[in-house]
């Protein structure tokens, strides 16, 4: 089926399909309480900005999908050693900050978990991180994700990520809030991770879970996920994002790894959001839909499409599109991938639901 004809046919089928919106977990004991849609995945509908002078244009994905990596991107990452030359708002020690093998392996385990579902290519850099000066834009280009370790602080800064998806390549945390830990020029900061297996045995279970949650959460940002509670339609009392920045909005997902805990619900201020410690089923399904692995009927994309309620007819057309996009001997056809992402996003926005 020709690609454009396939998109037309898919749109016609999706317009006729019915999608359940009754699979969300209740967030109030009130039987009359209405669950509002909220975003598990955020992108943007605004035009792409011009890249910063020291950033390659390849770091951007155009238009609405620019918060998502291309399927053939090579995403390099490295671990920043403790360096006094990099400004820190909060003093820390080399012991808390050094990228020990245990700390690095802890992060790599989370990356491996996500990559069990996604066809992305993360590669640890061969560069000697201690010999690079990340105040130099050319050196920053050598390592997309510059991961730093350190101590969390009382204000709750267990971690942060400097951007969403590929935009993390261009951002530098030059003006951190004074209470924010971590060094300038890091892309991702992870606090509180023990330095060794022996140290890990000494921390509390609550501390261990918080460090685990932080890594999953911040890598979620790297992959393109935004805060669940920041949806323009979130039922919580948190600060909301403008509607124009929403790319995909599912029903509110209480299990999302991107949800902060302790935020009150508007309809019932006595209830607050709970801790989450790993990606939810809907988190993973959305990632698999946005990063299709193959056109196979038993592939992760096909399974995710079924989980999100797409019928066999619509799934068959999607897989046919992916066959054209991924099997081209000249390379991945990104326009087809981006178009399919937009069609799926529009459909979920029109029929907000959780994966089943």
Looking at the fold, whether 294 and 245 belong to one and the same domain comes out as yes
Considering the domain boundaries, does residue 356 fall inside one? no
The confidence score (pLDDT) of residue 21 equals: 64
Which one is predicted more confidently, 192 or 237?
192
Residue 31 scores a pLDDT above 80? no
Hey, which residues does 147 pair with through a beta bridge? 79, 188
d(CA 259, CA 354): 15
**Which residues, including other chains, have CB under 8 Å from residue 228's CB and lie 6 or more apart?**
38, 39, 40, 234, 252, 253, 256, 258, 259
Looking at the fold, whether 65 and 214 belong to one and the same domain comes out as yes
Looking at the fold, whether 215 and 262 belong to one and the same domain comes out as no
Q: Residue 279, SS3?
A: coil
Question: What's phi and psi for 215, nearest 5 deg?
Answer: -65, -45
Spacing of C-alpha 26 from chain mean position: 25
Rg (CA), the chain: 21
Which one is predicted more confidently, 40 or 129?
129
Q: Please report which confidence band the pLDDT of residue 35 belongs to, taking 50, 70 and 90 as the band edges.
A: very low
d(CA 62, CA 47): 8
d(CA 319, CA 327): 11
Considering the domain boundaries, does residue 206 fall inside one? yes
Residue 308 scores a pLDDT above 70? yes
d(CA 42, CA 45): 10
| pLDDT mean across residues, the chain | 82
The confidence score (pLDDT) of residue 242 equals: 55
Looking at the fold, whether 133 and 212 belong to one and the same domain comes out as yes
Which one is predicted more confidently, 64 or 16?
16
Considering the domain boundaries, does residue 199 fall inside one? yes
Across 314-338, average pLDDT: 92
The confidence score (pLDDT) of residue 168 equals: 86
Looking at the fold, whether 209 and 70 belong to one and the same domain comes out as yes
Q: Residue 106, SS3?
A: helix
Considering the domain boundaries, does residue 84 fall inside one? yes
Looking at the fold, whether 191 and 122 belong to one and the same domain comes out as yes
| Half-sphere exposure of residue 91: CA atoms within 13 angstroms, side-chain side | 0
Across 49-58, average pLDDT: 32
**Which residues, including other chains, have CB under 8 Å from residue 15's CB and lie 6 or more apart?**
none
Looking at the fold, whether 176 and 31 belong to one and the same domain comes out as no
**Which residues, including other chains, have CB under 8 Å from residue 295's CB and lie 6 or more apart?**
301, 319, 320, 322, 323, 326, 327
**Which domain CATH number covers 90?**
3.40.390.10
Q: What is the CA angle 339-340-345, rounded to 5?
A: 100
Across 81-87, average pLDDT: 84
d(CA 188, CA 172): 10
Domain boundary among 187, 205, 223: 223
Looking at the fold, whether 68 and 174 belong to one and the same domain comes out as yes
CA nearest 246: which of 224, 263, 217?
A: 224
For residue 350, what are its two tokens?
Answer: 């029109």
Q: Are 277 and 305 in contact (CB under 8 A)?
A: no
Considering the domain boundaries, does residue 248 fall inside one? yes
Q: Please report which confidence band the pLDDT of residue 87 belongs to, taking 50, 70 and 90 as the band edges.
A: confident
Task: Write the pLDDT tens digit of every residue in 240-292.
Answer: 665 445 467 788 898 999 989 888 998 888 899 999 999 999 999 999 999 99
Considering the domain boundaries, does residue 273 fall inside one? no
Looking at the fold, whether 84 and 103 belong to one and the same domain comes out as yes
Residue 6 scores a pLDDT above 60? yes
The confidence score (pLDDT) of residue 34 equals: 36
Looking at the fold, whether 86 and 215 belong to one and the same domain comes out as yes
Q: Residue 211, SS3?
A: helix
Q: Name the percent of the chain in helix, strand, coil, to the closest 5.
A: 35, 10, 50
Q: What total number of domains does the chain contain?
A: 2
Indicate the range of 73-77, 251-255, 315-319, 337-341 predicted with least confidence.
251-255
Across 312-340, average pLDDT: 93
Domain boundary among 187, 208, 223: 223
Domain interval for residue 83:
57-223
Which one is predicted more confidently, 84 or 57?
84
Considering the domain boundaries, does residue 52 fall inside one? no
DSSP β-ladder status, 145-150 and 188-191: parallel
Q: Please report which confidence band the pLDDT of residue 344 belongs to, taking 50, 70 and 90 as the band edges.
A: very high
Q: What is the CA angle 104-92-96, rounded to 5?
A: 30
- pTM of the prediction? 0.86
How many Cβ atoms are within 10 Å of 86's Cβ, its own excluded?
18
For residue 91, what are its two tokens?
Answer: 């003093």
Looking at the fold, whether 133 and 23 belong to one and the same domain comes out as no
Looking at the fold, whether 236 and 99 belong to one and the same domain comes out as no
């Amino acid at each position: 089926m020709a690609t454009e004809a396939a998109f037309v046919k898919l749109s016609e089928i999706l317009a006729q399909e019915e999608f359940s919106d009754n699979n969300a977990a209740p967030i109030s004991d009130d039987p009359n309480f209405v669950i509002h849609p909220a975003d598990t995945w955020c992108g943007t509908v605004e035009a792409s900005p011009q890249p910063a002078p020291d950033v390659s244009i390849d770091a951007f994905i155009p238009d609405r999908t620019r918060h998502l990596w291309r399927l053939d991107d090579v995403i390099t990452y490295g671990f920043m050693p403790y360096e006094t030359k990099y400004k820190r708002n909060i003093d820390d020690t080399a012991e808390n900050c050094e990228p020990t093998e245990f700390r690095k392996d802890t992060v790599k385990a989370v990356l491996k978990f996500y990559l069990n579902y996604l066809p992305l290519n993360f590669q640890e850099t061969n560069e000697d991180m201690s010999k690079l000066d990340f105040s130099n834009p050319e050196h920053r280009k050598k390592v997309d994700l510059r991961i730093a370790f350190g101590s969390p602080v009382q204000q709750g800064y267990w971690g942060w990520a400097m951007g969403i998806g590929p935009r993390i390549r261009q951002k530098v945390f030059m003006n951190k809030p004074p209470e924010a830990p971590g060094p300038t020029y890091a892309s991702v900061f992870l606090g509180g991770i023990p330095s060794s297996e022996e140290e890990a045995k000494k921390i509390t279970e609550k501390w261990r879970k918080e460090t685990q949650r932080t890594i999953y959460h911040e890598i979620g940002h790297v992959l393109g996920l935004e805060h669940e509670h920041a949806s323009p339609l979130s039922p919580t009392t948190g600060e909301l994002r403008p509607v124009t920045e929403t790319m995909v909005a599912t029903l509110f997902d209480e299990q999302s790894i991107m949800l902060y805990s302790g935020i009150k619900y508007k309809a019932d201020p006595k209830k607050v959001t709970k801790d989450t410690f790993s990606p939810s089923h809907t988190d993973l399904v959305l990632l698999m839909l946005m990063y299709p692995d193959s056109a196979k009927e038993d592939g992760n994309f096909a399974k995710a499409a079924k989980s999100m309620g797409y019928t066999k007819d619509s799934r068959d057309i999607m897989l046919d599109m992916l066959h054209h996009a991924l099997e081209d001997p000249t390379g991945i056809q990104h326009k087809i991938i981006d178009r399919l992402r937009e069609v799926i996003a529009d459909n979920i926005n029109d029929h907000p639901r959780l994966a089943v």
